[in-house]
């Protein structure tokens, strides 16, 4: 679906052509952002990368912001669904946190463009970008809030604070061009999430089975 359409008369239905062009524009936005950043990215950059005309762009999106948000929604939806599938078999809250964090970091490490979009570029778009990023985090925060074994007096926004810190840590890996090494941070990030709910001792016990980069020989 992302492939360039053949030139000339190809007999493809208009609906297919427009769907193909939309996906190519979204993919182009995803590819252009790491090099130029959202503020400096132009519609011309995106159409050149997608090999479509400006007219084709404006048939799909009213402006650059709408294109970015469509790109974010597509990528964030895929990302959340993959993590939720991985977490579904886990019956224990600790297992859901551990598995979810590990799968999220694995996916981001394997999909650097998506990682950059979610952790870096969303904040560059302004209020609407931050709202999209927060909506993504809210899906994960719901897992932390649901049936956690921690104290009942924990603040309601604890999950949001913890996940904001996780995104910040992910961004440092991306800025340092170490995105592929994000799984190395799994143990430390899971521990930081679990300690406020369980305490240090029980959190350490819940980390069993996660690789510890400090023990690499």
Entry pTM: 0.87
Residue ranges with strand state E in 24-67: none
pLDDT over 80 at 125, yes or no: yes
Cα of 9 vs its chain's centroid, Å: 39
pLDDT over 70 at 4, yes or no: no
User: pLDDT digits over 156-173, tens only?
Assistant: 899 999 999 999 999 999
User: pLDDT digits over 57-85, tens only?
Assistant: 999 999 999 999 999 999 999 999 999 99
Structural domains of the chain, ranges and CATH numbers in brackets: 14-61 (1.10.10), 73-212 (1.10.357)
Q: What angle do CA 20, 21, 25 make, to 5 degrees?
A: 120
Please, what is the average pLDDT of the chain?
A: 88
Q: How many CA atoms lie within 13 A of 3 on its CB side?
A: 4
pLDDT over 70 at 7, yes or no: no
């Amino acid at each position: 679906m992302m492939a360039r359409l053949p030139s000339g008369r190809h007999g493809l239905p208009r609906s297919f052509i427009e769907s193909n062009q939309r996906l190519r524009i979204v993919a182009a936005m995803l590819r252009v952002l790491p090099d130029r950043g959202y503020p400096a990215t132009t519609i011309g950059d995106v159409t050149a990368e997608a090999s479509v005309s400006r007219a084709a762009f404006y048939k799909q999106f009213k402006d650059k912001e709408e294109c970015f948000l469509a790109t974010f929604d597509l990528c964030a939806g895929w990302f959340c669904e993959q993590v939720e599938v991985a977490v579904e078999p886990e019956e224990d809250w600790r297992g859901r946190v551990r598995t979810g964090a590990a799968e999220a970091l694995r996916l981001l490490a394997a999909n650097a463009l998506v990682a950059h979009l979610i952790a870096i570029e969303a904040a560059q778009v302004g209020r609407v970008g931050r709202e999209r990023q927060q909506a993504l985090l809210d899906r994960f925060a719901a897992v932390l809030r649901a049936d956690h074994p921690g104290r009942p007096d924990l603040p309601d926004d604890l999950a949001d604070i913890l996940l904001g810190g996780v995104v910040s840590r992910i961004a440092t890996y991306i800025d340092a061009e170490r995105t592929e090494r994000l799984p190395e941070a799994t143990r430390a990030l899971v521990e930081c999430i679990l300690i406020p709910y369980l305490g240090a001792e029980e959190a350490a016990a819940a980390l069993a089975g996660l690789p510890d980069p400090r023990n690499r020989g």
